[in-house]
Amino acid sequence: MPTPHHALVGPAADEPAPRSILRIQKARVKHQQLQCEFTEQRTDQAPPRTFALTCQELVHPDLLHWFEQLVPHLCLLCEQLSETPDFWPDDETGTLPDHFAAFTVTGFTLGGSGSGVTLIGQRQLAGGKLLNLTSPYVAFDHELEPYAYAGLLEATVQTALLEVEAALRGKCTECRQLGLFEPPAPFTAPDEPFVPLIPMPAHA
């Protein structure tokens, strides 16, 4: 989905920072690293460039927290658990109840220009094997979507997207500057030559 214009750092500290628009398409956490597909526009008029990359730093706990908040939705949408009075996380802390211990949301894919989402995750089975889970696509339009918690899902996804963008701009566990595109980190820029973005200092 489009995010408001957030500044990138550069070309020099005493010059106005250029502004860019990021649209996240897919986000996944694997081995504590963010894998992401997104487009970036330096200005409103500039054509979008497409990237696919794996951040080399460990993800920040805030990103993991908001991925965890998607677990109840994954369980309901994949019919893994039934809703009970104590089903949802604690309102104050966001701590997941014990019945979610076997479940993990590893990522999500946005569709329809950000108008809906598909969740991706896993369930650890009693024998130790992992069951891969992919939710049905959920539209954020309440008039079209029968899922009762589509509004809550959308709000959680929006916050997770903010954390994904923050990670792309330098927010990570080690809280130091991050080389966003560090060769030979994988990337895709099909329409024009690759131009590295200048990283922001990390913010906790």
Structural domain containing residue 80: 6-85+93-168
Residue keyed to tokens 């094997």: 129
Amino acid at 5: H
What pLDDT score was predicted for residue 93?
85
Angle 30-203-22 (CA atoms, 0-180°, nearest 5)?
65
What pLDDT score was predicted for residue 173?
83
**Within-domain flag for 57:** yes
Q: Work out how many domains the chain is built from and give that number.
A: 1
What pLDDT score was predicted for residue 190?
44
- 122, 58, 63, 69: which is closest to 91 by C-alpha? 69
In terms of DSSP H, where are the helices of 87-180? 150-168
- Between the two ends of the chain, the Cα-to-Cα distance in Å is 23
**Within-domain flag for 157:** yes
Q: How far apart are CA 158 and CA 169, in angstroms?
A: 17
What pLDDT score was predicted for residue 113?
79
**Within-domain flag for 25:** yes
Provide φ and ψ at 197, rounded to 5°: -85, 150
Q: How far apart are CA 62 and CA 78, in angstroms?
A: 25
Which tokens hold the place of 166?
Answer: 């923050």
What pLDDT score was predicted for residue 178?
43
Mean pLDDT by 10 residues, the chain (204 residues): 48 58 95 95 89 94 97 97 94 91 98 90 96 96 86 96 94 60 45 42 45
In terms of DSSP H, where are the helices of 18-176? 61-68, 71-77, 150-168
Length of the chain: 204
What pLDDT score was predicted for residue 176?
47
Q: How far apart are CA 44 and CA 97, in angstroms?
A: 44
Question: pTM of this prediction?
Answer: 0.76
Q: What residue ranges in 78-192 does DSSP mark as E strands?
A: 103-111, 116-124, 130-134, 138-139
